[in-house]
Amino acid sequence: MTAPRAQLATRPLPEGLEAFAAEATGMNSGRLRSLLTNLPAAFRNIERCLRPEEGGITRRELVRSPEVLLVLAGMEPGHSEAPHDHPGSLSAFRVLRGVAVVTRFGMDDRGSLVVASLDTYLPGSVLVQDETEVRSLGNDRSAAEALVTLHVYLPAPAIRIYTEGGVT
């Protein structure tokens, strides 16, 4: 697992991101899924605004307010996030490029993380997660290209990371 790096300036962002984020504010999971599924045409090539850094994970915050956070994220093959959740936030992402590998976790009788499921999501797929779901997003080691995803968090999240030693 690699810590995300801040994204250096790349291509200009499309207009309308603030309005898109404002529209998402306060949505339930069904409406948020629909919003990301029906991504505005102006955002269809937004992945070009992110240059995933070789050997890691890159994030570019697009819009941040107390009510919403919109993030463009890139991940090189073989990298994944640490298992985590977002207490108090509804989160969703759309796969823009590549194939996302999502590992969901549960807890065993001793309180240790165990893999509950492993799923793949193709470009155009949308995944909505509630605040209690512990998961990890990754890009398979054998992938031919970087994974690029667009994330929406309602409200802007705290992050709780799960490790073998506990929760941070």
pLDDT, tens only, 9-61? 456 788 889 999 999 999 999 999 999 999 988 887 888 888 766 668 999 99
User: Would you state the CATH architecture of domain 15-167?
Assistant: Sandwich (2.60)
The one-letter code for the residue type at 143 is: A
- 119: tokens are 């799923």
Q: 32 near 128, Cβ under 8 Å?
A: yes
pLDDT, tens only, 66-77? 999 999 999 999
Please state the domain extents for the chain: 15-167
Tokens 């802007």 correspond to 156
Angle at 121 between CA 15 and CA 38, to 5 degrees: 35
CA nearest to 98, candidates 71, 79, 70, 121: 121
